[in-house]
Amino acid sequence: MPGTDATYRRYVTLGDSRTEGLGDGDDTVACAASPTGWPSTSRTAVPGLRYADLAVRGRPAAQIHAEQLAPAPALRPDVATVVAGVNDLLRPRFDAGHAAGHLEAVFAALTAQGAHVATLTFPTSSVSRR
């Protein structure tokens, strides 16, 4: 990363459709069937970076925790991104504590093995609940 002495060689992404690439601007049928997410376009910034995108659309935090975290340690990421939570929010019985608990467990497991973890949130105006 610019301005640091850190050397990143292995990058793993976990999350839902936002990481997978759905809605990244190319809404053609071909892109929707096989989207290219923002992490895969940013990986070219670091020559030799090994990259694995574990994200799957439609996954709530509990499934990301159960399904995507399991293979991550074997990939030994130096850096990981975790973007999730909107699918939880859209469920009729949304439980913020439940979703946050799963995401915190994912963050803790990745950082415990030495990965730098980044995440983001989405603007509240982009999601409406009925």
For the chain, which residues make up each domain, given as ranges? 37-122
Phi, psi values for residue 122, rounded to 5°: -110, 150
pLDDT digits (tens, 9 = 90+) for 44-70: 667 788 888 898 989 999 999 999 999
6: region left, alpha or beta (phi > 0 left; psi from -120 to 50 alpha): beta
Token pair recorded at residue 72: 């991550």
Q: How far apart are CA 102 and CA 90, in angstroms?
A: 16
Give the residue, 32 or 15, on which the prediction is more confident.
Answer: 15
Which of 60-69, 107-116, 118-127 bottoms out in mean pLDDT, i.e. has the lowest? 118-127
pLDDT at residue 39 is higher than 70: no
CA-to-CA dists, residue 117 to 90, 92, 114, angstroms? 25, 29, 9
Give the residue, 82 or 29, on which the prediction is more confident.
Answer: 82
Contact 49, 8 (CB under 8 A): yes
